[in-house]
């Protein structure tokens, strides 16, 4: 066999080297040339086997030397090869030579190490579980058992069977209070192919009867046949005891509830009777408060209206007796107009508490809050000076920011600031500092009026915005701060009060900030002369209709009048050239002016429409959004003329 080593060496399935006893190699197979240190340029007979085997370590070289010398008959050993490879080498004498074979065991060694690591991990995991884990084969023989307790519950686990454990533990069903048959145990049911979750069992243990919760699942081989079973048992004795106690307490609670039910019925009947009496009393109190509030409102309105009517009646009397004097006529007419505006303001004040619609975009203007604050300070200067003296001076401090712009009705914002400034001056009878502050805060602008006066208690502060609530006695109407709150809400803003008794009060108003595309507000344009137009006036009040016609005709307009919805529709139908503008009241004898607006819009889409109403304008409604302007009675001639001239102003602006 040693005569032709190359033939049989190549037949070996692993790296192999044939060494002579003289220290030189005689043959090497193809696999050996990759595993051993082989010089491909030199004859194999001239290469020392010590060099060829050097890559597998000196231990292998020594073993080959011992076999070659006859010290040992054969040798097997595991060695490390190059590149972290592992080899199992066998050295045997072959005639006058020595055969060295090397089997690569790298993968086998890695699998073995991984398996050992996995076994250690599982054993650690099982040992950490507060439970008993049993593994048995298909015959019921226990292969391993790990107890969650520090001591073993059964000391001869290695020879124990599932049946022996059943005999020792004598399991019972804690719900039915009867023994569990051998074939009904979780382990045997799992060996039958079932998976058991959370079966409660009462078992006998050295420390006494315990309740365990058993989980069991079958193990299957590669062919899917059941080869064993794993059983996990959790000790739930304390939990079961607590559950039993909870059930007992639930029963006791049910009994108490049943005993209380009869008492509850009588209590409910008593509460119902008392509630009916209380509700009746509360309704009576609410009715009395409502009547008192209405009476206070009526008294305030009557007072203001009488004050407005008194100069009107006096001026009308004097107007008849001085009709021949143009100067006197103009003077009395101005007095009547001013008194009527005061009455209109009173009606507007009441209307603002009835309706709280937001300001209609298009009827408002760009307002510089800082400029308006300056104006209000100037208007209240006489009042401030009257309250001031050398020792009790009311000083003014202005902290006004730039570009503090919003959109709204300047008259309403001015009225709100006047109310706040007057209240602040009244709150400083001994003098102090009045501060007006404006600023831009993100997407909002704010204006604050602060005084260093008497301040408010928490109770007064919480009711300060309530209508008719006043701390001024007969000298106050209770509408000032409520009106300020209503103005802020109508302008999509907010009002807040902070106050400390004897230190002062601050009222802060916030509004949405107005920005133009170029960052600057649009300046107001002067009113241009009105071009003659054909106007249809629909008004059911005879004097109002006649005066409105005369005002419009005085500006050169052609005016047609109607007193109802039907007459207005007929006038629109009969018109030769279409009208340029429709002015209609809302409350008409045969329907609403809004229905006439809808009809006119459908027939004449380009017709301009203005609405006149005796109520506070509902400018937030969808109907109001479809008209050009909404005016409240009594009409101001200048305001009406401004709206009529609006198209002329836009046309002139666009041309220039």
Close Cβ partners of 4 (under 8 Å, ≥ 6 residues apart): none
pLDDT for 527 beyond 60: no
**208: confidence class by pLDDT, cuts 50, 70, 90:** confident
| pLDDT attached to residue 525 | 46
579: Cα separation from own chain's centroid: 53
The answer to whether the beta carbons of residues 71 and 62 sit under 8 Å apart is no
- For the segment 600-629, what is each residue's pLDDT rounded down to a tens digit? 888 888 889 988 887 655 544 566 667 888
- For the segment 315-326, what is each residue's pLDDT rounded down to a tens digit? 676 777 777 888
Which helix (DSSP H) or strand (DSSP E) does residue 10 occupy? helix 5-11
CB burial of 84-96 (b: ≥16 within 10 Å; e: otherwise) equals ebbbbbbbeeeee
Mean of the per-residue pLDDT values of the chain: 80
81: Cα separation from own chain's centroid: 66
Please indicate whether residue 445 or residue 236 has the higher confidence score (pLDDT). Answer: 445
Pick from 334, 309, 302: nearest CA to 319 = 334
| pLDDT attached to residue 373 | 92
Evaluate if pTM is beyond 0.85.
no
Task: Find the mean pLDDT for residues 566-587.
Answer: 87
Please indicate whether residue 122 or residue 93 has the higher confidence score (pLDDT). Answer: 93
pLDDT for 656 beyond 50: no
At 524 the three-state DSSP class reads coil
| pLDDT attached to residue 460 | 86
SS3 letters across 553-584 = HHCCCEEEEECCHHHHHHHHHHCCCCCCEEEE
Close Cβ partners of 547 (under 8 Å, ≥ 6 residues apart): none
| pLDDT attached to residue 148 | 42
Give the Cα separation of 43 and 51 in Å (integer). Answer: 14
Weakest mean pLDDT among 163-167, 518-522, 569-573: 518-522
| pLDDT attached to residue 654 | 37
Q: Which domains does the chain have, with CATH numbers?
A: 5-108 (3.30.450.20), 129-235 (3.30.450.20), 365-512 (3.30.565.10), 534-655 (3.40.50.2300)
**554: confidence class by pLDDT, cuts 50, 70, 90:** confident
Please indicate whether residue 474 or residue 454 has the higher confidence score (pLDDT). Answer: 454
Task: Find the mean pLDDT for residues 541-566.
Answer: 86
Give the Cα separation of 408 and 531 in Å (integer). Answer: 28
DSSP 579: P
């Amino acid at each position: 066999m040693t005569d032709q080593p190359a033939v049989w060496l190549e037949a070996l399935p692993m790296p192999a080297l044939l060494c002579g006893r003289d220290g030189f190699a005689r043959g090497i197979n193809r696999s050996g040339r990759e595993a051993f240190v082989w010089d491909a340029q030199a004859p194999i007979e001239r290469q020392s086997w010590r060099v060829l085997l050097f890559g597998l370590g000196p231990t292998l070289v020594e073993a080959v030397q011992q076999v070659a010398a006859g010290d040992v008959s054969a040798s097997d050993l595991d060695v490390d090869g190059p590149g972290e490879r592992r080899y199992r080498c066998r050295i045997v004498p072959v005639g006058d030579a020595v055969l060295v074979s090397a089997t690569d065991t790298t993968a086998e060694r890695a699998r073995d190490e991984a398996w050992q690591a996995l076994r250690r991990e599982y054993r650690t995991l099982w040992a950490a579980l507060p439970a008993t884990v049993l593994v048995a084969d298909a015959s019921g023989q226990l292969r391993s058992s790990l107890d969650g307790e520090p001591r073993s519950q059964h000391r001869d686990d290695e020879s124990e069977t599932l049946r022996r454990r059943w005999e020792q533990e004598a399991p019972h069903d804690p719900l039915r209070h009867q023994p569990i048959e051998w074939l009904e145990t979780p382990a045997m049911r799992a060996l039958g192919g079932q998976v058991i979750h959370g079966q409660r069992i009462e078992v006998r243990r050295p420390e006494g009867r315990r309740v365990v919760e058993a989980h069991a699942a079958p193990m299957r081989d590669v062919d899917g046949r059941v080869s064993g079973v794993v059983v996990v048992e959790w000790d739930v004795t304390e939990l079961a005891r607590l559950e039993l106690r909870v059930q007992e307490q639930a029963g006791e609670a049910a009994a108490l509830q049943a005993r209380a039910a009869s008492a509850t019925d009588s209590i409910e009947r008593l509460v119902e009777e008392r509630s009916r009496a209380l509700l009746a009393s509360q309704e009576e109190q609410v009715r009395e408060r409502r009547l008192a509030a209405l009476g206070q409102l009526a008294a305030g309105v009557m007072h203001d209206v009488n004050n407005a009517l008194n100069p009107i009646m006096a001026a009308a009397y004097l107007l008849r007796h001085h009709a021949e004097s143009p100067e006197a006529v103009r003077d009395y007419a101005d007095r009547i107009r001013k008194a009527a505006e005061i009455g209109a303001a009173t009606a507007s004040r009441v209307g603002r508490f009835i309706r709280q619609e937001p300001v209609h975009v298009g009827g408002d203007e760009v307002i510089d809050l800082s400029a308006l604050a300056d104006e209000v300070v100037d208007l209240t200067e006489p009042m401030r000076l009257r309250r001031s003296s050398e020792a009790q001076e009311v000083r003014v401090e202005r902290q006004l920011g730039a570009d503090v712009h919003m959109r709204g009705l300047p008259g309403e914002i001015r009225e709100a600031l006047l109310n706040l400034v007057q209240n602040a001056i009244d709150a400083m009878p001994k003098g102090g500092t009045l501060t007006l502050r404006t600023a831009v805060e993100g997407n909002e602008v704010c204006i604050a009026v602060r005084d260093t006066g008497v301040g408010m208690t928490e109770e007064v502060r919480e009711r300060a915005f309530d209508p008719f609530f006043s701390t001024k006695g007969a000298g106050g109407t209770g509408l000032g701060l409520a009106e300020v709150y209503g103005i802020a809400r109508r302008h999509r803003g907010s009002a807040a009060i902070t106050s400390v008794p004897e230190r002062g009060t601050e009222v802060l108003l916030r509004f949405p900030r107005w920005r133009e595309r170029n960052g600057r507000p649009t300046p107001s344009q002067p009113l241009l002369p009105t071009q003659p137009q054909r106007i249809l006036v629909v008004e059911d009040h005879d004097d109002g209709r006649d005066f409105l016609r005369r005002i419009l005709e005085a500006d050169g307009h052609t005016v047609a009048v109607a007193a109802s919805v039907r007459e207005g529709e007929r006038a629109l139908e009969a018109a030769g050239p279409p009208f340029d503008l429709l002015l209609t009241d809302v409350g008409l004898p045969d329907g609403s002016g809004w229905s006439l607006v809808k009809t006119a819009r459908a027939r004449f889409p380009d017709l301009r429409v203005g609405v006149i109403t005796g109520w506070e304008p509902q400018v937030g409604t969808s109907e109001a959004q479809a008209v050009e302007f909404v005016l409240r009675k009594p009409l101001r001639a200048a305001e009406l003329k401004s709206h009529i001239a609006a198209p002329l102003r836009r046309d002139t602006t666009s041309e220039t």
